[in-house]
Chains A and B, each alone.
Chain A
Amino acid sequence: MRFVTELKADATADLVYRVCPMHLLEPVDLIKDLKQGQVLEILTDYDGALEDIPAWCAKNGQEFLGVGEEEDEEYYKLYIRKLH
């Protein structure tokens, strides 16, 4: 897993406590509204997102930047850069 620090996001999808597969559905919607090169931050407490989000990026040609390094017991922060 790739870790990142101090990434500034242009938009945030807060999926904490919201059930699977909201961690995929809402980011897909939000990324449509971003410009090329902008960063989307995904907050989720769902462990499966650590596999699903990088896999979705690989499949859809978006860049998975990594997981926030600051460990939070409650949720993960994942970052995607919009490439197209």
Chain B
Amino acid sequence: MKRVYLDHAAATPVRREVLEAMLPYFRERFGNPSAVYDLGSEIKDALEEQREKVARLIGAHRDEVVFTSSGAEANNLAVKGVALANLKKGNHVIVSAIEHHSVLNAARYLEKFHDFEVTFLPVDKYGLVDQERLRRSLSPATLLVSIQHGSNEVGTIQNIRELAAVCREQGVIFHTDAVATAGQVPVDVQDLGVDLLTLNGPALGAPKGVGALYFRQKLRLVPQIHGGIQENGRRGGTENVPAIVGLGKAADLAREELAARAKYLSWLRDLLAAGVQERVPGVVYTGHPAQRLPGLASFCVEGIEGEALLFMLSSQGIYANTGSACASKALKTSPVLGALGIPSELAQGSVVFTFNAENSEEDINYVLYHLPLAVGRLRSFSPVWRKRTAAAVGE
């Protein structure tokens, strides 16, 4: 059976070039970068080269990059590390209502254990945070604002430059989670004007288990992994050198291929979005119609359950997602879709397709053939849909 994998936001294969770059670091170049002998110092040099490559991707200086084990850890270090390092400046943190759980729950941790006040900023029907609303939410006690660059669930890309500028005017530290956008759209920390930015390896074609946090020089962070002097004393634990080498290689590739990749992924996305809306009645294309991730198409299909649709699609070798990767297992309505004002009944029918450059037009056509069939079959069992269509006929 044909396999069409369209869940790259959940997991993505390591790129061949990335794997090849990593391989020597498992056997020949296995040393500990903190060791003083040459087997270690060579690895330390390699580690610093990767830091340079990651910094180059985002327009940063290499001293402003900390490697972490994931995007989630980088988000934790940004939110908790900065908040705890600046307790004297204030105790108010603002995050958008559609952040990844690693930002939302890090903020809730501060609220619960450190007496912080947290504002969860609402978004509009496209998932955008309003600049004026952010301005009104700032108070003299506001220390940090965290708003994601792009949504892995509805694809919307925020106006980070404008939002960060509001914070800079008020001397408030600004963090953005760029896990979804890096490698798909330009991500430059100077251009965006952010103080902290999160990256994740897998989103760039590197393996799982590696991420990075950009932090503007002179910003203090309280380490969240307590240990030795790895990462210049900002994150304990021996560095995952092979994965970091993979991230460095993936960052180089992302920089070289960005324009072509964005163009190709947008083309695939638009083919799918147009095809689905044409062939499946009762479908809502979620997120912003234009200002969105090139590699993501998200829908809510009336009268069905997203989980059931995923099951039907997987029986045809099509792999997609409903809501975010972690939320889908909990069988809960996505809080992100709720924040966009999508009624919970419609949000139940959420399906998210995320592509990479290995996907083809043929993949999209395969989905466009099977998706309407699967939706039709599920709707034939759905009392909600039957009631709706009967009412429409009655009109």
Contacts and interface: CB of A to CB of B under 8 A. Distances in A.
Interface residues on A, range: 10 to 19
Interface of B: 85, 88, 218, 220-223, 226-229, 232-234, 236
A19 B220 contact: no
B222 A19 contact: no
Contacts of B218: 14
A19 B234 CA distance: 7
A34 to B, nearest CB: 18
Contact of B221 (A17, A21, A22, A25): A17
Given A17-B223, A19-B226, 14 more contacts: A15-B233, A17-B85, A17-B221, A17-B222, A18-B232, A18-B233, A19-B223, A19-B228, A19-B229, A19-B236, A22-B229, A22-B232, A22-B233, A74-B88
Contacts, number: 30
Interface string A11-32: 0001111111110011000000
A9 B348 CA distance: 61
6 contacts: A18-B232, A19-B228, A19-B236, A20-B229, A21-B229, A25-B229
Nearest to A25: B229
Nearest to B219: A14
B3 to A, nearest CB: 47
Chain B CB within 10 Å — which of A17, A21, A22, A25 has the most? A17
Contacts of A15: 233
A15 B218 CA distance: 10
Contacts of A14: 218, 220
Contacts of B236: 19
Contacts of B220: 14, 16-17
From DSSP, what is the main secondary structure of chain A's interface residues?
A: loop
Interface in A1-54: 14-22, 25-26
Question: Which of B85, B226, B233 is most buried by chain A, counting CB atoms within 10 A of its CB?
Answer: B233
A20 B223 CA distance: 12
A70 B111 CA distance: 32
Contacts of B232: 18, 22, 26
A25 B228 CA distance: 13
A17 B228 CA distance: 12
B234 to A, nearest CB: 6
A65 B222 CA distance: 28
A74 B220 CA distance: 12
A15 B234 CA distance: 10
B227 to A, nearest CB: 7
Contacts of A20: 229
Contacts of A19: 223, 226-229, 233, 236
Nearest to A17: B222
B179 to A, nearest CB: 25
Contacts of B222: 17
A77 B220 CA distance: 16
A18 B88 contact: no
Contacts of B233: 15, 18-19, 22
From A18, A20, A74, residue with most partner B Cβ within 10 Å? A18
Nearest to B87: A74
B84 to A, nearest CB: 8
Contacts of A16: 85, 220
B390 to A, nearest CB: 64
A19 B222 CA distance: 10
Contacts of B227: 19
A26 B229 CA distance: 11
A52 B211 CA distance: 34
Contacts of A17: 85, 220-223
A81 to B, nearest CB: 24
